[in-house]
Amino acid sequence: MGFLRNKSLSVKLTALITAVTTAGIIAGFAAVTFIDARNFRGDLAADAALSARLAAGYCVAPLVFGYAEEAAQALEKLSLFDDINYVAVYDQEGRLFARYRREGSQGEPPALLADPGLASGFRAGIFEAREPVIYDGKRFGTISLAVSTGSLSRKIAGRAGLLALLAALMAAAALLVALRAQRVVSEPILSLADMERGVALRGDYSVRSGISRDDEIGALAAGFDALLESLGARSRERDAAEEALRQAHTEMEGKVRERTAELRLANKELEAFTYSASHDLRAPLRRIDGFSSLLEEDCAAQLSEEGREHLGRIRAGCRQMAQVIDSLLRLSRVMRQELDMKELDLSALAEEIFAGLRETEPLRKVQFTAAGGLTAVGDRVLLGEVLENLLSNAWKFTGKTAAPVIEFGASEKDGERIYFVRDNGKGFDMKYAGKLFRPFQRLHSPAEFPGTGIGLTTVQRIIERHGGRIWVEGEEDRGAVFYFTLHGRENGGSQAHKEQGYDGQTA
């Protein structure tokens, strides 16, 4: 019944009921037809045997005395029986003695009795009954009586046809009954299935089966309703939780947006302040240095040695302040400037910068090595500033070292490339490592190693804007190694902004 597998339950039930009923009817009727046919044949044989015995009775005397005419007349009497095709009398030798043949009937008694030992039986199209003609214990001949089996076949066929018609009618009736009967079972199941589909599609847990019965289907429906009840309850709980979460999320988002806007504004203001303050400091400082220089040039004669020395200090102060202002301006610009990301050859950049450093002090002998082929994606100007700062720091802090060595290179760790700038110069105590990147934090006296204290802060901001990190290792009088990573993309920029802003303010 494989073809029924995907049919609906109602079709299955209907087909099953109808098939079983019809098979029963057909089997029953077939048995009836078989028994009927046997009975019919038995009746026919018995009738034929009786007729043959009758004919034998009629023919005793004529056969004994050899009156063939008499025998034929006697046989005529059997014309009363419609089914008899012919009756023939054979003598002891099996020769035809007399015969009767129905007009228009089929078959002819043979002239000689074929196979005298043959008993009565059904032959082609007929039933032949044989009866010996016996007188006084002596056999004088044989009667052969042929009965047509045509009527028998018709009778059996008629009966079978009738039964087939009945069977068909009963099968139809069974189908009707099955159609009704299956509803009792399948309809509630189908309605449950429909409801379940609806629940699955619309997620509406408020529907109920509405089926209330004491059988298994009732239990199924009740179980289903209970399931829907608990699902509905859980769904409502979940909806409520989701709604609460959504609200909290929206609220949080709003707060974050607000804070971000505030922060952005604060950063902008701070940057603008840094920028304009640096800018506005430049003009008066220019005047101080300019007129000090004029004083030096014009009134050198009127000034004492001491006066000239004071002027020199004023101008040195101006120089230092100008550097600080420039560094602050650069720091401010580093934070504001759009990144122009490009593929860069950092090795070549480092070589170029170092060549520039050599030019500033051609007499110094410093061994410099840069690993070849170190490329990165970044802003050329800003990463140039990073290398410039780190290399000039190394240059500066190896100023008092006997055999200065400066190295630019990179290593891989956990799939991340770590660049480094190493020197064997003055170094520092690791307990101050955290302070190094803070603005205006200096570990050495300006007299020993001059600087503004803003360079490394700027470097850190640039690295952060490139999505990287920077850290340092050092040992006093042994040297320092600055490590940094780059991810070639801008992130954490606003974070860096924030730090820069507050650091800048406390400075």
Partner 1 sequence: MEQRSLAPIEILLVEDNPDDVALTVRSFKKARMQNRISVAEDGVEGLAFLRREGKYADAPRPDIILLDLNLPRMNGHELLEIIKTDPALKDIPVIILTTSKSEEDVLSTYKLHSNCFITKPVLMEDFDRVIRTIQDFWFVVVKLPSSK
Nearer to partner 1 by Cβ, of 279 and 435: the residue is 279
Nearer to partner 1 by Cβ, of 149 and 458: the residue is 458
What is the spatial distance between Cα 391 and Cα 430, in angstroms, rounded to a whole number?
20
For residue 442, which amino acid is it?
A: R
Considering the rule CB under 8 A, would residue 274 count as an interface residue with partner 1? no
What is the spatial distance between Cα 271 and Cα 279, in angstroms, rounded to a whole number?
12
Please pick, from the candidates 41, 53, 282, 358, the single residue that binds partner 1 as defined by CB under 8 A. 282
Considering the rule CB under 8 A, would residue 334 count as an interface residue with partner 1? no
CA dist list (Å): 406 to 182, 347, 454, 469, 484? 95, 13, 22, 21, 16
Contact between 160 and 152 (Cβ < 8 Å): no
Nearer to partner 1 by Cβ, of 110 and 290: the residue is 290
Considering the rule CB under 8 A, would residue 135 count as an interface residue with partner 1? no
Considering the rule CB under 8 A, would residue 292 count as an interface residue with partner 1? yes
Considering the rule CB under 8 A, would residue 51 count as an interface residue with partner 1? no
Characterize the bridge pairing of strands 405-413 and 375-379.
Answer: unpaired
Nearer to partner 1 by Cβ, of 28 and 356: the residue is 356
Please pick, from the candidates 34, 65, 135, 291, the single residue that binds partner 1 as defined by CB under 8 A. 291
Considering the rule CB under 8 A, would residue 1 count as an interface residue with partner 1? no
Among the candidate windows 286-294, 359-367, 402-410, 419-427, which touches partner 1 by CB under 8 A?
Answer: 286-294
Please pick, from the candidates 234, 249, 259, 279, the single residue that binds partner 1 as defined by CB under 8 A. 279
Helix (H) or strand (E) holding 494: helix 493-506
Q: How many CA atoms lie within 13 A of 139 on its CB side?
A: 12
CA dist list (Å): 251 to 246, 326, 367? 8, 43, 60
Q: How many residues bind partner 1 (CB under 8 A)?
A: 19
Q: 3-state SS of 50-67? A: HHHHHHHHHHHHHHHHCC
Considering the rule CB under 8 A, would residue 285 count as an interface residue with partner 1? yes
What is the spatial distance between Cα 3 and Cα 16, in angstroms, rounded to a whole number?
13
Please pick, from the candidates 7, 238, 255, 286, the single residue that binds partner 1 as defined by CB under 8 A. 286
Work out how close the CB of 480 gets to partner 1 at its nearest, in angstroms, rounded to a whole number: 30
Considering the rule CB under 8 A, would residue 290 count as an interface residue with partner 1? yes
What is the spatial distance between Cα 124 and Cα 107, in angstroms, rounded to a whole number?
10
Considering the rule CB under 8 A, would residue 322 count as an interface residue with partner 1? yes
Query: Which SS3 state, helix, strand or coil, does residue 140 take?
Result: strand
Chain residues that interact with partner 1, rule: CB under 8 A = 279, 282-283, 285-287, 289-294, 318-319, 322, 325-326, 329, 333
